Amino acid sequence: MFIDIACSQKRKYNQNAYGDFFASNRFPNMNRVVAVLSDGLGSGIKANILACMTSTMLLKFMENNSDIEKSCEVIMNSLPVCKVRGISYSTFSAIDCYDDGKAKIVEEGNPDFIWIRNNEVLKPEYQTIQSKDFKNRKMKVYNITLEKGDRIIFCSDGATQVAMGSKQYPLGLERSGLIKIILNKLNNESDISSKDLSDYLVKQIQYIAPNKELKDDTSILSLYCRDPRESLIFTGPPFHNEKDNYWANTFINFKGKKAISGGTTANIISRELNIPVKSHMSLSMGKLPGLSKMEGVDIVCEGILTLTKTLEYLESGKCENNAAKVLMDFMLDSDVIQFLVGAQMNKAHYDPNLPIEIEIRKNVIKKIALVLEEKYLKKVNVQFI
Partner 1 sequence: MEKISVKVCTGTTCFVMGGANLQELHDLIPRKYGDKVEVSGSPCLGLCSINWEYSKAPYVKVNEAVVNEATVEKVLAEIDKQIGNN
Positions in the binding site for partner 1 (CB under 8 A): 262-264, 266-267, 277-284, 287-290, 292, 300, 302-305, 346-349, 351, 354-356, 358
Hey, is 142 helix, strand or coil? Answer: strand
Pick the closer one to partner 1 by CB: 318 or 347.
347
Q: How far apart (Å, rounded) are the C-alpha atoms in residues 61 and 72?
A: 9
Q: Which is nearer to partner 1, 42 or 289 (CB)?
A: 289
> Could you give the count of Cα atoms lying within 13 Å of 333 in the half-sphere of its Cβ?
12
**Given the complex with partner 1, which of 66 and 245 has the nearer CB atom?**
245
- Give the integer Cα–Cα distance in Å for 140 and 285: 54
Distances (CA, A) of 379 to 54, 299, 306, 345, 368: 27, 20, 21, 27, 12
Residue 8's contacts (CB-CB under 8 Å, 6 or more residues apart) are: 195, 198, 199, 201, 202, 219, 220, 222
Looking at beta carbons only, is 125 or 242 nearer to partner 1?
242
* Residue with Cβ nearer partner 1 (29 or 282): 282
**C-alpha distances in Å from residue 178, one per residue of 114, 124, 185, 362:** 9, 18, 11, 48
Shortest gap between Cβ of 311 and partner 1 (angstroms)? 15
Instruction: Give the separation between CA 84 and CA 183, rounded to whole angstroms.
Output: 40
| Cβ 358 to partner 1 shortest distance, Å | 7
Dihedral sign of CA atoms 99, 100, 106, 112 in order: positive
Closer CB to partner 1, residue 16 or residue 282?
Answer: 282
**What is the closest distance, in whole angstroms, from the C-beta atom of residue 252 to partner 1 in the complex?**
16
Residue 316, classified by CB atoms within 10 Å of its CB into exposed (0-12), middle (13-18) or buried (19+), is exposed
Inter-residue contact 220 to 196 (CB < 8 Å)? no
- Stated as kind and residue range, the H or E segment containing 39 is strand 32-40
Min dist. Cβ of residue 334 to partner 1 (A): 23
Task: State the nearest-atom distance from the C-beta of 341 to partner 1, in Å.
Answer: 15
Q: In the complex with partner 1, which residue's Cβ is closer, 106 or 288? A: 288
User: Shortest gap between Cβ of 268 and partner 1 (angstroms)?
Assistant: 10
CB of 232 to partner 1, least distance (A): 18
User: Measured from the CB atom, is 138 or 287 closer to partner 1?
Assistant: 287
The stretches of the chain forming alpha helices (DSSP H) are 44-63, 68-78, 157-160, 174-188, 194-208, 244-252, 263-273, 304-316, 323-332, 361-374
Least CB distance to partner 1 at residue 316 (A):
22
